[in-house]
Amino acid sequence: MKSVLAIAGSDPTGGAGLQADLQVIRHFGCHGMGVVSALTVQDTQKVHSVLPVFPSVVLDQLRCLVNDVQPDAVKIGMLASDDVVRNTSLGLASLPEGAPIVIDPILFASDGTALLERRAYAALIELFALATVVTPNLPEVETLTGEDASGRRGSERAAARFVEEFKSAAVLIKGGHRDGAPDDLLAIRGDAGPELHWFEGTRIEGEARGVHGTGCALSSAIAAGLAQGRGIVEAVEHARAFVAEGISNAHVVGGGAQLLGFTTSHRTAR
Ligand code: PLP
């Protein structure tokens, strides 16, 4: 069985963050490991507060774990503070060479709460050079690049910045916040410029209250696919189908956002 390490914040609802990552990784037939980077106080309605973990403890968790168990892939989610980003970066040096790294550059929760402090953006961008793929949504792309990425051209320009300037091997710009069709753009670094793949999205009519944790689930599903030996395009396709199904089967657990519903049709055990 392949092992996937999630470095992520705690979401007590289980809908996002580390708790969701571990459920998704398990769903894909991998063993999930978790390094906690931050605590949140939240329910399905809002994030009430955020507390980064003591930065050196993030590094200690990583070094201690990786000394013993070598993950086949890593997913990085909420990092909360500049010091946690920097200690995560130090900890990644102890990873086995070639282990794929998926970075979900979480800046804000859906309710607008900052999940990463502003002064950490530069260190987060530096971390992208280690990534197999970075999975920003449109607001994250626009905040980090300053580009208007709402149209196709703008997204392609911003994607080029991620692979050429920020040096990530690939970027998946999630289109859920687009006005029109929520198409996603995958750009893979290539010698003759980025190789572009547009994935058509269909808006799934769900509850007006929204579905929590889709970005966390998508990046964990991609990491699990990469751990199992899928190529980047195939891992992204598979993860998108998994999340689309999860949104269609979303369920109510509290008074706020719905949580993804997992069915068995995308379960794999390579
Ligand atoms: N809490 C944690 C720990 C997260 O990692 C995330 C992910 O973005 C959120 C909350 C916010 O999730 P959402 O934006 O889906 O509400």
Average pLDDT over residues 166-179: 94
Cut 0.75: pTM above it: yes
Is the predicted pLDDT of residue 155 greater than 80, yes or no?
Answer: yes
What domains sit in the chain, N to C, each tagged with a CATH number? 3-259 (3.40.1190.20)
Determine whether the shortest distance from the Cβ of 140 to ligand 1 is under 6 A: no
Whole-number pLDDT of residue 180: 83
Whole-number pLDDT of residue 60: 98
Q: pLDDT by residue (tens digit) across 11-51? A: 999 999 999 999 999 999 999 999 999 999 999 999 999 99
Nearest CA to ligand 1 atom 2: 17
Q: Taking a C-beta distance cutoff of 8 angstroms, is the pair 18, 10 a contact?
A: yes
Average pLDDT over residues 108-129: 97
Measured CA to CA in angstroms, residue 171 lies from 118, 165, 184, 267 at distances of 21, 12, 10, 24
| CA separation for the pair 71, 5 (Å, rounded) | 6
Mean pLDDT of the chain, nearest integer: 94
Nearest CA to ligand 1 atom 5: 17
Q: Is 65 exposed, middle or buried (0-12, 13-18, 19+ CB in 10 A)?
A: middle
| CA separation for the pair 20, 223 (Å, rounded) | 13
| CA separation for the pair 238, 247 (Å, rounded) | 14
Average pLDDT over residues 203-227: 87
Q: pLDDT by residue (tens digit) across 78-102? A: 999 999 999 999 999 989 889 999 9
**Ligand 1 mutation target, pool 40, 44, 209, 216, most atoms within 8 A of CB:** 216
Other Cβ atoms less than 10 A from the Cβ of 153: the count is: 11
pLDDT band at 202 (very low <50, low <70, confident <90, very high): confident
